[in-house]
Amino acid sequence: MSGKLLIVSGPSGAGKSSLCSALLERSPNLYLAVSVTTRPPRPGEKDGREYHFLSRDEFERQKARGEFLEWAEVHGHLYGTRKSDVQSMLEAGRDVLLEIDWQGAAQVARQLPDAIRIFILPPSLEALRQRLVARGQDDEATIERRLSAAEDEMSHAHEASYQIVNDDFERALAQLLQIYNEAAVA
């Protein structure tokens, strides 16, 4: 029996990571496929937990060998998901969660059309700005770049099977849990 593949995407600051963490805590058969990135670790991040951190050269070598299920350049950094990481978990009957951008979600869906795509939306661009500022991780220029990218990203929300507006965390989490639980028994 193979597992289910859940893909969660949305703009930076929409609450993807927090929702995915809470979903994983409540779903013992759901496993996170750890993505690969060339961006430097943020404070508190650990290699192999949040991401596998690679140099741009090593990422390019793995990409050239066809090791990625999906990859994209986002905000000047490369991100990707290794095929082997996802395939081994699915073949073992585990459900897999990918937390990736919309471009990666589209790439994965073309290869694995049974994947369940979920797009997390902020209540508004102003709410997104407030979240990015409150996070305290980026300078003003980076925040403006993320907001500009968010508008483009949100125009792709309709490509996902489900859209969740994260205006209330508990409600958004309940919706995410319901989608996963229905998929898990299907």
Structural domain boundaries, residue 88? 5-185
- Structure-block tokens of residue 52: 């596998």
- How many C-beta atoms surround the C-beta of residue 11 within 10 A? 26
Whole-number average pLDDT of the chain: 91
Per the structure, how many domains does the chain have?
1
* pLDDT (tens digit per residue) in 74-89: 778 999 999 999 999 9
The reported pLDDT for the residue numbered 1 is 56
CB atoms within 10 A of CB 148: 11
Closest to 166 in 3D by CA, of 126, 113, 127: 127
Polymer length of the chain = 186
CATH of the domain at 178: 3.40.50.300
How does pLDDT run across 3-29, given as a tens digit for each residue?
A: 999 999 998 888 998 999 999 999 999
Strand partners, 80: 36, 71
How, if at all, do strands 30-32 and 95-99 pair? parallel
Per-residue pLDDT reduced to its tens digit, 90-133: 999 999 999 988 888 999 999 999 999 999 999 988 888 888 88
Radius of gyration of the chain (CA): 16
How many Cβ atoms are within 10 Å of 84's Cβ, its own excluded?
11
